[in-house]
Amino acid sequence: MKVFITGGGGFIGSHAAEFYARRGEEVVIFDNLSRFKILGRSQTPYRYNVAYLKPYRQVTYVEGDIQDLDLLMEHLHDSDIVIHAAAQTAVTASYQDPTADFAINARGTLNVLEAVRRQSNPPIVIYCSTNKVYGNKVERIPVMANQTRYEFAGKKFRQGINETFGVDLCTHSPYGCSKLSGDLYMQDYARHYDLKIGVFRQSCIYGTRQFGIEDQGWLAWFAIATHLGQPVTIYGDGKQVRDVLFIADLIAAFDAFVQKQKTPLDTVFNIGGGPENTLSPLELLEFLEDLTGKRSQIRYADWRPNDQKVYISDIRKAKESLGWSPRVSIDQGIPELLRWIRDNKKLFSEV
């Protein structure tokens, strides 16, 4: 098979590339490595994943922009699977430059869909969506607080937020709007053009080869800061709760969708660690201290706009439809992330 991955030089894309390369599939990673420019960072760490994949002879790197439809058409041609992981991923950056955020996340996604639709034999598509499509509607769910975390009050959302929760009549960040636009286009193209598309509304994905920073990839950023002895800023009170999913489990979910395409499937899946894999920033810092003997200095700042107090994915649909479930627990995944950070400490002087 030929697997075409937009954003293939990024965290999620590079793991997907490695997964299929190890299977012996032809893999094309399509990436302009613009993340360092958007976030105002050195480009060195963001070329790391492309260099990491060089030993795999099955992997070809194309430096390309998803806003270039002609180039997409040229290199996506004859693909069997398309994994669309390219995106502007930081909420704060979307507020600073909503036009660029829209161009990448909305217009770029439409270009990917058009490139897919125009193929004589359209490939299966995986779209990396986000839990941010639910906006601040999640904030209407009553919560209760204990010493280290918030929890949903009552039993209704004990399993988390499911795919029918709804995305309307609430506020979103520009990032949430642009990703929701791509999400809806994916659903619409699947129905009207009879395309095989899986929309994965991802919660907090973490793992090796993730260059987390304060604006995006909070779990990895806290782990990096702890290892380097750098301070961290907590926005709000640190009791916000998210379900977290190790990267290998996310890629397994993607592949489960691909393998199940012989039978009809719904398009949208909430994907994360579910109720069994949840953390707050305060709890993560305690866990990191237990593992490393180090604790970052904490600074507190005001709540960020549209920061949900609790978001937990209801993953029962993915379990039932895909025969998938998370395999890597927090107790396994975070130590693996820390080992990778320790072994690549020099990279993080430039993150």
Model confidence at 221, in pLDDT bands (50, 70, 90)?
A: very high
pLDDT at 112 over 90: yes
Tell me what the mean pLDDT of segment 41-59 comes to: 84
> Hey, which bits of 21-146 come out as E strands?
26-30, 59-62, 81-84, 124-130, 143-145
Look at the block and give the residue holding tokens 């904490």.
Answer: 298
pLDDT digits (tens, 9 = 90+) for 149-167: 999 999 999 999 999 999 9
Q: What is the pLDDT of residue 226?
A: 96
Look at the chain and report how many structural domains it folds into. 1
Model confidence at 261, in pLDDT bands (50, 70, 90)?
A: confident
322-280-45 Cα angle (round to 5): 75
Provide the domain limits for residue 271. Answer: 2-349
User: 141-171 b/e with 16+ CB inside 10 Å = b?
Assistant: bebeeeebbbbbeeeebeebbebebebeeee
pLDDT digits (tens, 9 = 90+) for 299-322: 999 998 888 999 999 999 999 999
- 175 counts as catalytic: yes
pLDDT at 52 over 90: yes
Q: What is the pLDDT of residue 46?
A: 67
- The domain spanning residue 46 has which CATH number? 3.40.50.720
Report the relative pairing of strands 59-62 and 81-84 from DSSP bridges.
Answer: unpaired
Model confidence at 38, in pLDDT bands (50, 70, 90)?
A: low
Q: What is the pLDDT of residue 37?
A: 63
The pLDDT mean for the chain works out to: 94
Of residues 20, 150, 175, 311, which has the active-site annotation? Answer: 175
Model confidence at 281, in pLDDT bands (50, 70, 90)?
A: very high
